[in-house]
Chain A
């Protein structure tokens, strides 16, 4: 049972436009959400996070939106640049036993920025 779902395996966006990556989750205990970016042959790189007490977090060109009632979050990248071409993973964690659990990841979305 996949608790974090990224339903788009790939997404193609023109340079300069907005990229929107979506993520759905099923576990209502998740209270911290992260986006990671991954280039081939490298480990995932932390991009941005959001706590369940917020509905938006912004960092430069990257904004994450959280809709708890819909169990949905999205990552907006604007404007999209060629260096943004990578696989993006949505991840979530819940608190138990006194701290945050390890992350549960989606399968990733391959973002391709077209010149």
Chain B
């Protein structure tokens, strides 16, 4: 079974530029998550989708971050404009069904973003 795919793996941009990340979850997984992992910290949830609807985006900085999952499969996360403090690894995860309660999340390899 193929895992969660993410691209690009690495991205370097200058502050105030825009950037987008792509995620393809495990086939059949209804729930998709985006996490931000700053160096030395654990991953922090940014947004959670169930199919193409948003379940939780309370920790997403909505003035600069946006995410969509239009057809309930792939997802994109965008930062516009980027700040120095956005330098982090952006992890995408998917799970079978958030509503089950005990639902294991499987992570992609992440995209390492460096903002100069």
Cβ proximity bits B21-42 to A, threshold 8 Å, 1 near / 0 not: 0000000000001010000111
Q: Which of A49, A102, A107 contacts B41 (CB 8 A)?
A: A107
Residue pair A99, B107 in contact (C-beta under 8 Å):
no
Residue pair A100, B41 in contact (C-beta under 8 Å):
no
Q: Do A102 and B33 contact each other (CB < 8 Å), given the known contacts A43-B110, A44-B91?
A: yes
Interface of A is mostly: strand
Residue pair B103, A99 in contact (C-beta under 8 Å):
yes
CA of A106 to CA of B40 in the docked complex: distance in angstroms? 10
Residue pair A43, B105 in contact (C-beta under 8 Å):
no
Residue pair A105, B42 in contact (C-beta under 8 Å):
yes
Q: Which of B6, B45, B50, B97 contacts A103 (CB 8 A)?
A: B45
Residue pair A99, B104 in contact (C-beta under 8 Å):
no
Complex interface: chain B residues within 8 A of A32 (CB): 101-103
Residue pair B101, A102 in contact (C-beta under 8 Å):
no
Verify if A101 is at the interface (C-beta below 8 Å from B): yes
Total A-B pairs in contact (CB under 8 Å)?
Answer: 73
CB distance from A21 to the nearest CB of B (A): 14
Q: Which of B50-75 contact A (CB under 8 A)?
A: 50, 55-56
Residue pair A34, B44 in contact (C-beta under 8 Å):
no
Complex interface: chain B residues within 8 A of A60 (CB): none
Residue pair A99, B91 in contact (C-beta under 8 Å):
no
Verify if B88 is at the interface (C-beta below 8 Å from A): no
Residue pair B109, A42 in contact (C-beta under 8 Å):
yes
Verify if A7 is at the interface (C-beta below 8 Å from B): no
Verify if A12 is at the interface (C-beta below 8 Å from B): no
Complex interface: chain A residues within 8 A of B2 (CB): none
Give the A-binding residues of B (Cβ under 8 A): 4, 6, 33, 35, 40-45, 48, 50, 55-56, 91, 93, 97-110
Known pairs A32-B103, A44-B43; list 14 more (Cβ under 8 Å). Answer: A32-B101, A43-B110, A46-B104, A51-B102, A89-B43, A99-B98, A99-B99, A99-B103, A100-B101, A100-B103, A104-B45, A105-B44, A107-B40, A107-B42
